[in-house]
């Protein structure tokens, strides 16, 4: 199953700058983080201000976060790896262009920024999510929540 938040919301119609592949890359990788904050926010508020059971709400928030991560994982990973696909048959003078956005030359500064951002996000999504089992990922979530609460 693939869940592409960027396509379902039609955000590229709102602003011409959102039609670029870089905007899609940033949105696709940042949206799950923002959603994670939204998931953990109410849980932290219940624990902090209402003194509810920490274990229950931490477990509940971590489970919701894991479900969200695994729903967006395929589409986010696909977008990240599209950053590295350049077409050498399209350009003149042996110039290559990004397959996902033919307005981006693979030899220009905008592409280098995009590529470096994609390299950083590979550590978070394809590598980070794949190498985290549910237990390890939950422990990381709980540690983060504990640090935030203190």
> How do residues 26-84 score in pLDDT, each as one tens digit?
998 988 888 888 888 787 777 777 776 767 667 777 778 878 887 888 889 999 999 99
What is the domain extent for residue 33? 5-83+122-149
Q: How far apart are CA 8 and CA 4, in angstroms?
A: 6
Residue 33 placed within a domain: yes
Residue 52 placed within a domain: yes
Residue 36 placed within a domain: yes
pLDDT tens digit sequence for 100-138? 988 899 998 999 999 999 999 988 888 777 766 555 666
Residues 6+ apart with CB under 8 A from 134: 66
Residue 95 placed within a domain: no
Q: Judge whether 90 and 59 are in contact, CB under 8 Å.
A: no
β-bridge pairing 101-105 and 97-98: antiparallel
How many structural domains comprise the chain? 1
């Amino acid at each position: 199953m693939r869940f592409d938040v960027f396509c379902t919301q039609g955000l590229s119609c709102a602003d011409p700058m959102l039609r670029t592949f870089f905007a899609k890359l940033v949105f696709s990788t940042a949206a799950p983080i923002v959603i994670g904050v939204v998931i953990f926010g109410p849980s932290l508020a219940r624990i902090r201000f209402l003194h509810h059971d920490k274990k229950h709400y931490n477990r509940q928030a971590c489970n919701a976060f894991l479900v969200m991560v695994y729903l967006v994982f395929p589409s986010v990973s696909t977008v990240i790896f599209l950053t590295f696909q350049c077409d050498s048959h399209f350009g003149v003078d042996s110039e290559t262009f990004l397959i996902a956005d033919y307005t981006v030359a693979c030899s220009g500064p905008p592409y280098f920024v995009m590529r470096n951002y994609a390299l950083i996000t590979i550590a978070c999504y394809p590598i980070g999510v794949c190498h985290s089992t549910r237990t390890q990922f939950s422990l990381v979530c709980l540690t983060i929540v504990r640090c935030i609460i203190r």
